[in-house]
Amino acid sequence: MKRNFLSIKKILLLVAMAALWLSQAMAAPTDTVLRLFSQAFPDAKYTRWVEDNEYYIVSFTRDETQCRIWYDKAGTLVYALRYCGESELPLSVLLTVKKEYADKHIAGVTELTNKNGVSYELLLSDNKKWYVVKSSSDGDMYLKYAMKKQ
């Protein structure tokens, strides 16, 4: 009987520790951060907040596009990702990729925003390989790496 009581006590302690850890990881951001986010993205859907040691991270969908933003504790945007399609590329990037990689299909686009500005990572493909290409917003582009398809 005493052995069962200790086992139950250990289980309850583990459950309490897990609940505490989850509550910290899923903590709500400050009112300032929530207000700034709501003002910037009033049409955001499927919003999910996570907190790590330094940042509040929000994942959401906007106009069928998945986005993720890292805010510091003061509410300043630190880093943002937007997963978009070919049609959402700036014309300078689209024209350059269509010229330099004319025989490749644009399979995906990730827009990266940080203090240095906006850049793009494009996933291209042909029959034999996948290509990851980095581009500045003005169309300066380079091949980051390529992988053979299996």
Domain spans in the chain, listed from the N-terminal domain onward: 29-148
User: What CATH fold (topology level) applies to the domain 29-148?
Assistant: Nuclear Transport Factor 2; Chain: A, (3.10.450)
pTM: 0.76
Residue 20 is predicted with a pLDDT of 45
Residue 13 is predicted with a pLDDT of 46
Per-residue pLDDT for the chain (150 aa), expressed as one digit of tens each?
Answer: 455 544 555 554 455 455 445 544 455 788 889 999 999 999 999 999 999 889 999 999 998 899 999 999 889 999 999 999 999 999 999 999 999 999 999 999 999 999 999 999 999 999 999 999 999 999 999 999 999 998
| Residues 91 and 98: beta-carbon distance below 8 Å | no
Residue 14 is predicted with a pLDDT of 52
Task: Return contacts of 98-107, CB within 8 angstroms, 24+ apart.
Answer: 100/141, 101/131, 101/133, 104/131
Picking from 129, 126, 122, the residue whose alpha carbon sits closest to that of residue 143 is 122
Residue 66 is predicted with a pLDDT of 95
